């Protein structure tokens, strides 16, 4: 027993600041030198780095611009730079920023992926390649915090480099200018854009309920809808607030406050004084994708209350605070009986939770994808889609109530340096972790390897089974259970069973950095 206690003490004592710095440098060097593609990153890689994959991109000549890819890696390098003052980490963040510069579209922002294969880049309207004539696709996307997160990376790296890197600085200013250019008169932004919308088609109105709405997905184009889904506008507003700070430019703060004005316009009247995920030009809740019906959102409404509090903290304008109480009461009333969950989709006026039934999905190489059944609106929570949360957490609601009550008593501004890719959500610096365990889990390369499968290149078929099925191979039956995923690949080599995740690298590096403070 004494030996075990002594051994544990020795192990913990061994993690000196110098040893933590050495481990951080080893892990970061591996990610920068061996994992990255020209400074950019995927969500996940096979353990031998032969294949990388994200939600939208795959292969070693593409990287992802969604937060779990390049942006979060870049932000982690910045956190390490702030914790250590080691120029290596700032250079790593700058390298990621330059990858984003190479992926900036002519429309100003970013798509989900950046293509680095020279033969394929000609099909993308990249500013860095001067490929802007006639190219419209892909458009800039604000979905999933893509352009907003990329811009935060550029802005923060720009500041740390004292605005002396011309390419990074110019790319950030161009993106900000384009986002101001496409902002609707009512303060919202389109979810996606290639050019400035025709503002005459988008009058300034207050939100209202439609007289009727179809329970069948109409298949309409929703890219011009005013979109709160996935906190799209919340992230744009807070990004502009940070831009105002970094560049000391009132224009960016004005754009943010104009966005705050849209939140107030979009707040629904009674009996559901919260927010929909998306609105049409008439300012009425509208369909987006076939699993996103017109409804009042128990998820995005929480985020918007947090943004309203941020706007009040930054500006002192009481109108932002005044809008919170009725929405907060609605959220509290709409929470499920367990007090932990709330429906993402609440039916207009009736407030009944809406669910989307599970459907079978098929993807085939060079043929695209199709959903062949399911995806119907239901009042029953049985057999619902799992790739998109139709029930979300209500855990933040008491925290929002507490913060709101405190703000009514005293307005407290935010700190000067913001952290994370969505600071409005109280996303902060990661706490220190068990440094001994974190360091011990690294392999000789500096990688954290874990169980997982991401497939491999040359996938031919993918099927998601929404219900029990049977697969036959040369007439031999094989039962397929609900939620099973079937993949068929070229060749005889099976996919590898170990992976390296960017989110694991980020979490561990941030925990080590936090241990130094």
pLDDT on residue 353: 98
Answer yes or no: is pLDDT of 403 > 60.
yes
Is there a single domain that holds both residue 464 and residue 342? Answer: no
Q: State the DSSP string of 216-276.
A: S------TTSEE-GGGHHHHHHHHHHHHHHHHT-HHHHHHHHHHHHHHHHHPPPTT--S--
* Least trusted range by pLDDT, from 179-183, 383-387, 399-403: 383-387
Region of poorest pLDDT, from 71-85, 232-246, 427-441: 427-441
Range of the domain at 366: 355-388+458-493
pLDDT(11) > 50? no
Q: Is residue 471 part of a domain?
A: yes
**208 and 282 both lie in a single domain:** yes
Q: How far apart are CA 396 and CA 196, in angstroms?
A: 36
In-domain check, residue 154? no
Average pLDDT over residues 64-73: 97
Tell whether 362 and 404 lie within a shared domain: no
According to the model, what pLDDT value does residue 5 have? 45
DSSP string computed for 108-149 = SS--SEEE--HHHHTTS-BGGGT--SS---SPEE-GGGHHHH
At residue 209, does pLDDT exceed 60?
A: yes
**Residue 133 lies inside a defined structural domain of this protein:** no
Give the residue from 367, 402, 419 where a domain finishes.
419
Does residue 375 sit in the same domain as residue 317? no
pLDDT mean over 275-301: 96
243 in any annotated domain? yes
pLDDT at site 136: 76
pTM for this model (two decimals): 0.94
Q: Where residue 7 falls among pLDDT bands split at 50, 70, 90? A: very low
> How high is the pLDDT of residue 220?
83
pLDDT band at 409 (very low <50, low <70, confident <90, very high): very high
Pair 465, 482: CB distance under 8 Å: yes
**Residue 379, domain member (yes or no):** yes
Let me know: does 448 contact 508? Beta carbons within 8 Å: yes
pLDDT value, residue 432: 77
Do the domain assignments include residue 444?
Answer: no
The answer on 361 and 231 residing in a single domain is no
Closest by Cα among 212, 224, 241, 215 to 184? 224
Domain CATH for 301: 1.50.10.20
What pLDDT was estimated at residue 15? 84
Residues 207 and 246 both lie in one domain: yes
pLDDT at 428 over 90: no
Instruction: Check pLDDT > 70 for residue 10.
Output: no
Look at residue 14 in the predicted model and tell me its pLDDT: 53
DSSP letter at 415 equals P
**What is the arithmetic mean of pLDDT over 250-275?**
98
Say whether pLDDT at 453 is over 90. Answer: yes
- 277 and 378 in a common domain: no
**pLDDT, mean over the chain:** 94
pLDDT band, very low/low/confident/very high, at 3 (cuts 50, 70, 90) = very low
- Whether the pLDDT of residue 330 is over 80: the answer is yes
Give pLDDT tens digits for 139-175: 999 999 999 999 999 999 999 999 999 999 999 999 9
240, 307: one domain: yes
In a domain, 510, yes or no: no
Q: How many domains does the chain have?
A: 2
Q: Which residue has the tokens 């700058």?
A: 94
If asked whether residues 238 and 305 sit together in one domain, one would say yes
Integer Cα distance of 209 and 276 in angstroms? 10
* Position 263 pLDDT exceeds 80: yes
Tokens of 273: 């004084």
Backbone angles phi, psi at 392, to 5 degrees: -125, 170
pLDDT of residue 40: 98
333 in any annotated domain: yes
* Beta carbons within 10 angstroms of residue 458's beta carbon: 10
How far is 347 from 354, CA to CA, in rounded Å? 6
Where is pLDDT greater, at 14 or 392? 392
Q: What number is the average pLDDT over the span 412-437?
A: 87
Same domain, 320 and 398: yes
* Mean pLDDT, rounded, for 410-437: 87
């Amino acid at each position: 027993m004494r030996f075990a206690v002594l051994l544990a003490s020795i192990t913990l004592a061994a993690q000196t600041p110098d040893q933590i710095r050495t481990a951080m440098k080893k892990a970061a060097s591996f990610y920068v030198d061996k994992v990255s593609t020209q400074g950019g990153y995927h969500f996940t890689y096979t353990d031998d780095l032969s294949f990388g994959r994200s939600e939208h991109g795959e292969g070693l000549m593409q990287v992802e611009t969604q937060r779990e890819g390049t942006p979060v890696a870049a932000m982690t390098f910045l956190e390490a730079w702030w914790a250590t003052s080691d120029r290596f980490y700032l250079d790593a963040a700058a390298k990621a920023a330059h990858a984003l510069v190479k992926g900036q579209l002519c429309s100003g922002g970013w798509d989900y992926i950046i293509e680095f294969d020279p033969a394929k880049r000609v099909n993308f309207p990249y500013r860095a390649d001067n490929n802007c004539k006639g190219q419209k696709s892909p458009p800039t996307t604000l979905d999933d915090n893509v352009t907003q997160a990329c811009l935060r990376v550029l802005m923060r790296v720009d500041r740390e480099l004292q605005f002396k890197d011309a390419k990074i600085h110019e790319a950030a200013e161009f993106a900000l200018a384009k986002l101001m250019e496409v902002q609707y008169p009512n303060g919202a932004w389109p979810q996606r854009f290639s050019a400035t919308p025709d503002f005459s088609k988008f009058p300034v109105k207050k939100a209202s309920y439609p007289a009727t709405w179809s329970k069948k997905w109409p298949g309409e184009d929703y890219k011009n809808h005013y979109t709160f889904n996935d906190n799209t506008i919340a992230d744009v507003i807070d990004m502009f607030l940070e831009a105002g700070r970094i560049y000391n430019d009132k224009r960016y703060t004005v754009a943010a406050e104009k966005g705050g004005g849209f939140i107030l316009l979009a707040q629904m009247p009674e009996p559901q004084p919260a927010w929909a995920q998306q609105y049409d030009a008439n300012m009425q809740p509208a369909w987006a994708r076939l699993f996103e019906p017109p409804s009042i959102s128990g998820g995005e409404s929480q985020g918007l209350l947090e943004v309203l509090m941020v706007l009040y903290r930054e500006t002192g304008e009481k109108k932002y605070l005044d809008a919170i109480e009725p929405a907060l009461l609605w959220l509290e009333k709409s929470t499920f009986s367990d007090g932990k969950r709330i429906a993402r989709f609440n039916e207009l006026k009736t407030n009944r939770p809406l669910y989307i039934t599970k459907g079978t999905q098929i993807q085939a190489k060079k043929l695209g994808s199709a959903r062949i059944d399911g995806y119907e609106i239901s009042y029953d929570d049985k057999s619902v889609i799992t790739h998109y949360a139709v029930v979300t957490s209500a855990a933040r609601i008491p925290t929002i109530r507490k913060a709101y009550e405190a703000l009514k008593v005293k307005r407290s501004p935010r700190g000067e340096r913001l952290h994370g890719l969505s600071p409005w959500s109280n996303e902060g610096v990661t706490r220190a972790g068990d440094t001994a365990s974190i360091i011990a889990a690294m392999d000789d390369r500096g990688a954290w390897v874990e169980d997982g499968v991401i497939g491999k290149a040359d996938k031919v078929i993918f099927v998601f089974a929404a219900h029990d099925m049977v697969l036959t191979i040369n007439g031999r039956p094989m039962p397929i259970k609900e939620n099973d995923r079937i993949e068929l690949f070229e060749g005889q080599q099976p996919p590898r069973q170990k992976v390296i995740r960017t989110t694991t690298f980020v979490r561990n590096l941030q925990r080590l950095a936090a241990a130094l403070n």
